[in-house]
């Protein structure tokens, strides 16, 4: 996900905030140490990603928001073909709006917004070569509370579900947001037993891990932290936690 001001103000919360959480340092299942990147500043070529030792990328199946100049939204078929040709994994994610720049977060658009966003995501995912069995991760890119989840964000996800179906719906967010989505039944299951389509960021997670997450964003580009650098470009880094983490090239 792209860097936002809200990421810099990570809110700590008690480790007992929800059941089933584990500390960052606790043992976690992994897929042979695979690491992906996601883009925060500028697109990095597949060749550079491979040379830097990463195993793939999360790509954006969302339009470019007004005023933004990123070159990684929406992802193109040429780019995903390049990733695949280099033996790299591809995972789809969606984020259009963001707080105050200038559109609000996508989840604020409720059920009908979820329908529209899922339709856009599905169209761009298919145009980029994404298979109809792969999930798409939808972003909750701020630290919302339980009331906001129940009243607004959960309805957005139900709109997404009406288009993609629950089995192909995923979430990006902090530990609490991922757990609410799992408990609410709005995200699907990985084919790896015990895992759900949850991509957890360390931002807003307060040192807590969601044990059912398939991906963990452990390096997040902010104004004070450049994240990982590939050929002079800052990127976020994501640990793969399950053999089936939503990659395009896995038959389901």
Contact 207, 12 (CB under 8 A): yes
Q: What are the φ/ψ torsions at residue 237 (nearest 5 degrees)?
A: -120, 135
Q: pLDDT tens digits for 95-110? A: 998 887 767 899 999 9
pTM as predicted: 0.88
**pLDDT tens, residue by residue, 150-172:** 999 999 999 999 999 999 999 99
Q: What share of the chain is helix, strand, coil (3-state, %, to 5)?
A: 30, 20, 50
C-alpha triplet 221, 145, 59: angle, nearest 5°: 35
Helices 110-127, 154-164: inter-axial angle, 10-degree rounding: 40
Count of H helices and E strands in the chain?
A: 7, 11
pLDDT value for 1: 57
CA atoms of 88 and 1, how far apart (whole Å): 19
């Amino acid at each position: 996900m792209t860097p936002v001001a809200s990421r810099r103000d990570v809110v700590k919360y008690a480790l007992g905030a929800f059941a089933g959480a584990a500390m960052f340092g606790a043992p976690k299942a992994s897929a042979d140490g695979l690491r992906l990147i996601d883009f925060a500043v500028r697109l990095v070529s597949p060749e550079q990603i491979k040379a830097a030792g990463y195993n793939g990328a999360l790509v954006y199946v969302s339009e470019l928001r007004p005023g933004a100049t990123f070159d990684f939204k929406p992802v193109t078929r040429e780019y995903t073909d390049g990733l695949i040709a280099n033996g790299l994994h591809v995972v789809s994610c969606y984020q259009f709006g963001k707080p105050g720049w200038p559109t609000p977060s996508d989840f604020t658009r409720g059920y009908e917004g979820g329908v529209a966003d899922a339709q856009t995501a599905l169209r761009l995912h298919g145009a980029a070569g994404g298979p109809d069995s792969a999930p798409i991760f939808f972003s909750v890119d701020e630290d919302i509370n339980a009331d906001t989840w129940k009243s607004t964000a959960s309805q957005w996800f139900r709109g997404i579900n009406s288009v993609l179906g629950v089995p192909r719906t995923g979430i990006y967010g902090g530990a609490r947001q991922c757990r609410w989505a799992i408990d609410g039944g709005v995200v699907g299951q990985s084919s790896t037993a015990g895992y759900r389509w949850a991509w957890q960021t360390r931002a807003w997670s307060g040192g807590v891990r969601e044990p059912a997450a398939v991906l963990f964003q452990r390096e997040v580009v902010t104004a004070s932290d450049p994240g990982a650098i590939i050929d002079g470009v800052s990127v976020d880094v994501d640990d793969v936690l399950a053999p089936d983490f939503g990659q395009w090239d896995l038959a389901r």
